[in-house]
């Protein structure tokens, strides 16, 4: 097992190219099995989660491989409806195979999903949507089994206790492309990754309208075909580097991004006094003056993303004053607090809000990553801390950031990987 080592205290300056979106690529790869024909998907990051999804597709009977940032998938005519526990249990996003398997084969068996331990994330909305399309759902021995003689379009409401569900919306959207009639999803998630999935499905011959709004309409078709498609840039990776620029008093230009996908973060950075310049495909984030504390509340898109909460907290730890960070998507997503406090931060938790009292400096320390975005937050903290920081369980980081050490070193960081 590897760990990441950071020699902190260096100002970051330069240019970084952002990779393709992991959270777009995973459901798009799953959606490729809605047809027997070949699809070629470009701008796919080389990550552990992507490799896992490709292995699952192969296990289902598809031909799939990645060369650089291009994934080619030829499902063929003999797709298996059972997704393997050994692989599915390691990655929550693999639950998005349920929709395309049910849509194409009218039956699916997928293990209950695994992944990061950041609190309860039930899949009841996925199952509710499938049942409304006409599927019979049972859960046996930890597996979700879905079957239907035929799927029929339906009107459904997919709002949950913490807002809309991205993966549930994706799953229903994919299954409904091959259902009879029209499906309308109210309280659908509106994230850019869902717009990307809808555009991919439409390029296969689907009829999806309204993606990006809270009402999505899918008119079922009889058959889909293969396609060639390019995945959007990763807004969470982009946001992580934006915070890194502010945290290290740096000056970073980000290439290959869609700035409006990060409007909520950019608004908070401006509020904090950080310099922000954007154009159509790039942004420049510059430290200008003393950063001010800001309060943050995570919300479904276009609100502040939960996947940037931990990184923003790292910035606030060294921002003089008091800031309050409230988590309304995953209330238990605060396991990075104890590790940041080991580095000298002053954070205490009250319910689903973290109260951050900024300190003058952090000090390097051995810390343990609990999930993907917590890993990024600890790396960011290490970049500004005095001395050496060792981030253990770096396999979390490898699930979501492509060549992060290489990118950080190219703009002035001193970061490397060591065997435990």
Beta bridge partners of 45: none
Closest C-alpha among 261, 254, 245 to residue 303: 261
Answer for the pair 87, 50: CB distance below 8 angstroms, yes or no. no
Of the candidates 111, 70, 104, 64, the one whose C-alpha atom is nearest the C-alpha of residue 87 is 111
Using DSSP, how many helices (H) and how many strands (E) does the chain show? Answer: 14, 25
* C-alpha distance from residue 14 to each of 40, 239, 255, 383 (Å): 32, 16, 11, 15
Q: Residue 420's CB: how many other CB atoms inside 10 A?
A: 9
Q: What are phi and psi of 414, to 5 degrees?
A: -125, 95
d(CA 198, CA 221): 14
DSSP conformational letter for 93: G
Catalytic residue check, 116: yes
Residues belonging to the chain: 420
Among 6, 108, 116, 310, the one annotated catalytic: 116
Q: How many angstroms separate the Cα of 174 from the Cα of each of 43, 181, 190?
A: 21, 14, 15
The answer to whether 347 and 340 have CB atoms below 8 angstroms apart is yes
Residues annotated as catalytic (active site), given as ranges: 116
């Amino acid at each position: 097992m590897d760990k990441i080592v950071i020699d902190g205290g260096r100002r970051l300056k330069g240019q970084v190219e952002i990779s393709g979106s992991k959270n777009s690529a995973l459901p798009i790869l799953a959606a490729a099995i809605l047809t027997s024909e070949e699809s070629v998907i470009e701008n796919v990051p080389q990550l552990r989660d992507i490799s896992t999804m490709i292995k699952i597709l192969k296990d289902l009977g598809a031909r799939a491989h990645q060369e650089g940032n291009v994934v080619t998938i030829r499902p063929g005519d003999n797709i298996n409806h059972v997704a393997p526990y050994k692989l599915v249990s390691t990655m929550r996003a693999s639950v998005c195979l349920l929709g395309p398997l049910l849509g194409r084969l009218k039956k699916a068996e997928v293990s209950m999903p695994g992944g990061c331990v950041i609190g309860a994330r039930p899949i009841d909305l996925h199952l509710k949507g499938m049942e409304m399309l006409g599927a019979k759902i049972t859960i046996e021995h930890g597996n979700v089994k879905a079957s239907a003689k035929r799927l029929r379009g339906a009107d459904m409401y997919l709002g949950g206790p913490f807002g809309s569900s991205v993966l549930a919306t994706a799953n229903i959207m994919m299954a409904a492309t091959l259902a009879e009639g029209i499906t309308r999803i109210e309280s659908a998630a509106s994230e850019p990754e869902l717009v990307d999935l809808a555009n991919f499905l439409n390029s296969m011959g689907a009829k999806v309208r309204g993606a990006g709004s809270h009402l999505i309409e899918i008119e079922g078709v009889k058959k889909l075909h293969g396609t060639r498609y390019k995945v959007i840039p990763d807004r969470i990776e982009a946001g992580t580097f934006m915070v890194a620029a502010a945290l290290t008093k740096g000056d970073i230009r980000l290439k290959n991004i869609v700035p409006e996908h990060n409007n909520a973060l950019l608004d908070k950075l401006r509020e904090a006094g950080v310099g922000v310049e954007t154009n159509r495909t790039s942004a420049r984030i510059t430290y200008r003056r003393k950063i001010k504390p800001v309060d943050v509340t995570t919300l479904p898109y276009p609100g502040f993303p939960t996947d940037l909460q931990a990184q923003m907290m790292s910035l606030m730890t060294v921002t003089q004053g008091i800031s309050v960070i409230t988590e309304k998507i995953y209330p238990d997503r605060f396991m990075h607090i104890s590790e940041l406090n080991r580095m000298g931060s002053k954070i205490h938790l009250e319910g689903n809000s973290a109260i951050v009292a900024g300190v003058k400096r952090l000090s390097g320390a051995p810390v343990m990553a609990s999930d993907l975005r917590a890993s990024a937050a600890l790396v960011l903290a290490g970049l500004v801390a005095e001395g050496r920081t060792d981030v253990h369980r770096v396999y979390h980081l490898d699930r979501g950031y492509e060549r992060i050490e290489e990118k950080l070193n190219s703009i002035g960081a001193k970061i490397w990987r060591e065997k435990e």
